[in-house]
Structure 1
């Protein structure tokens, strides 16, 4: 284990979370210690089922899966069925998918604390959904962040461009209070793949077509679950949200950065916070390059090597 990169993954398993999990499972030198589930793209029960389904497809059902928060700390639940389908995986259910009896008994927050304590200073936490589980865990054990090796987040924004509200990215909008807690209380090195960063590095649809046309079960699965979202993103409105046409496996950007430190070629290093009160800006991530807020600095991803992402995605379906 000492020579392997140890990952703990927190997801709201929709289509792009499934892709990111598969990237992690296929990456050499990586060990996934557990997957924790959170409300978000779809309701928690679906998220748990989706993770178990992905693990079964990849013959990795031995990886423990934990049920976490089913609602945000405050406010109403959000969902992203317009992109991910009613069940989070494109509305193409598998009658042979594992049931919820396969879940571990511990709550996700408890599992995070236990796993990190068992591998102190060795675990990379990758969060690809709302940050509710991470916020609850740090409230239960305030020493948790100092025992993490680092934290990678897909969420937030850097130029006030929204994808769920006018100024808000979905994962942060789904629980702004949790995002605020995490960005305030997690003292470990923190790396953020924002919405605009992923949009600037979209992949061409030609790559997507080649990716899902491989003659393998995993490629067939990805093509099926992406069908619903493709209609959305290839629509006029979807292209406007994406700021141009292209394939956007959002969560895989954070996962690629966690797996391969050379994937991101430049960062913006500065303090960040989250707006909690604004009528139009609630949930928006705020960058503080002049250190006005006197907060710890995080690494906001700015540029990356898209070819490395393509390689990781291709390997994920082998």
Structure 2
């Protein structure tokens, strides 16, 4: 039986890569894609998601409009990193129209899809966790009906990429992240910022990956050009990345959801999110001493099978 995925995105370049990896895997059924504010404003996220589906010839997959702003925090976007439109500011006159969106909203769609497939759905969250938090607020029983939750977000060493101590997705809606880590007691797997940095790939692989000569590869090369220039600057490599390399953050969460053996080392620990610190708001708190007395422990990814990960990326652009 195919693995059933719901992917919650804020489609920037790495979300696009994650969607394409999921769609390329014959053992995966993407039930729907829910969109959230984040890398770029929600309207761009919706357009970008449809653009990715079009290049993959998968506009049959339902796309849902989600939350346009965080629960309490000020809006935060990552235009400098992904381009103002989220996909490298590359013109696309033939982009699909928003009339293709489902009428049902994202939060209700998540609840409905999980209820229709109890115990089977893997929810993969690569965006700020607003939609995911709202879903459990509306249906508190949702986590017990999920097979698993996979999150790209948070950090384990207070190493920030947006604030001094905060990773973008958790900073962009810290209250939502706090709710999700508190309420979702299903098996939960987290690909943190430091984890993605330490498992980055050589730039030579990126060159090979983009040189496959397909429509998908050409699309990816165009939309990732802006981001690549950004991340290859000396400042970024020195200050943000634990070792230079090609870091496709969101793909790790999707890849782990697809392949149960991809993660070769992980840590089981209770976590929460700091909401009040002047410098630490949005930081994921890792409770090694078990002082929080939380029964639910998440699985924090440590290492992956990089050769298998490369194969999944290569297949995505064939």
Measure, in 2, the Cα distance between the counterparts of 1:149 and 1:199.
27
Tell me the secondary structure at the aligned position of residue 153 of structure 1: strand
Paired position in structure 2 for 1:56: 54
Q: In terms of mean alpha carbon deviation, does 243-252 or 62-71 score higher?
A: 243-252
Paired position in structure 1 for 2:131: 133
Give 1:210 deviation, angstroms: 0.4
Paired position in structure 1 for 2:313: 313
Give 1:291 deviation, angstroms: 1.2
Counterpart among 228, 233, 238 of residue 235 in structure 1: 233
Question: Is the CA contact 2:4–2:121 (under 8 Å) kept in the aligned structure 1?
Answer: yes
1:265 is the counterpart of 2:264: yes
Give 1:294 deviation, angstroms: 1.2
In the TM superposition, what are the counterparts of 1:105-184 in structure 2 within 5 Å? 105-184=103-182
- Deviation per CA, 1:276-306, whole angstroms, max 9, x where unpaired? 0000000000111221101110000011111
Question: Is the CA contact 2:23–2:30 (under 8 Å) kept in the aligned structure 1?
Answer: yes
Give 1:243 deviation, angstroms: 2.7
Measure, in 2, the Cα distance between the counterparts of 1:93 and 1:193.
31
Tell me the secondary structure at the aligned position of residue 120 of structure 1: coil
**For this pair of structures, how many residues does the alignment match?**
316
Paired position in structure 1 for 2:197: 199
1:247 is the counterpart of 2:230: no
Q: In terms of mean alpha carbon deviation, does 233-242 or 165-174 score higher?
A: 233-242
Measure, in 2, the Cα distance between the counterparts of 1:22 and 1:164.
26
In the TM superposition, what are the counterparts of 1:3-152 in structure 2 within 5 Å? 3-152=1-150
Measure, in 1, the Cα distance between the counterparts of 2:251 and 2:314.
12
Give 1:244 deviation, angstroms: 2.7
Measure, in 2, the Cα distance between the counterparts of 1:223 and 1:67.
27
Give 1:31 deviation, angstroms: 0.3
Measure, in 2, the Cα distance between the counterparts of 1:173 and 1:17.
18
Give 1:93 deviation, angstroms: 2.4
Give 1:75 deviation, angstroms: 1.7
CA RMSD, Structure 1 to Structure 2 (Å): 0.6
Question: Is the CA contact 2:135–2:142 (under 8 Å) kept in the aligned structure 1?
Answer: yes
Paired position in structure 2 for 1:224: 222
Measure, in 2, the Cα distance between the counterparts of 1:262 and 1:78.
34
Q: In terms of mean alpha carbon deviation, does 299-308 or 42-51 score higher?
A: 299-308
Measure, in 2, the Cα distance between the counterparts of 1:218 and 1:67.
25
Tell me the secondary structure at the aligned position of residue 14 of structure 2: helix
Q: In terms of mean alpha carbon deviation, does 287-296 or 270-279 score higher?
A: 287-296
Question: Is the CA contact 2:73–2:174 (under 8 Å) kept in the aligned structure 1?
Answer: no
Measure, in 1, the Cα distance between the counterparts of 2:240 and 2:101.
35
Measure, in 2, the Cα distance between the counterparts of 1:294 and 1:95.
54
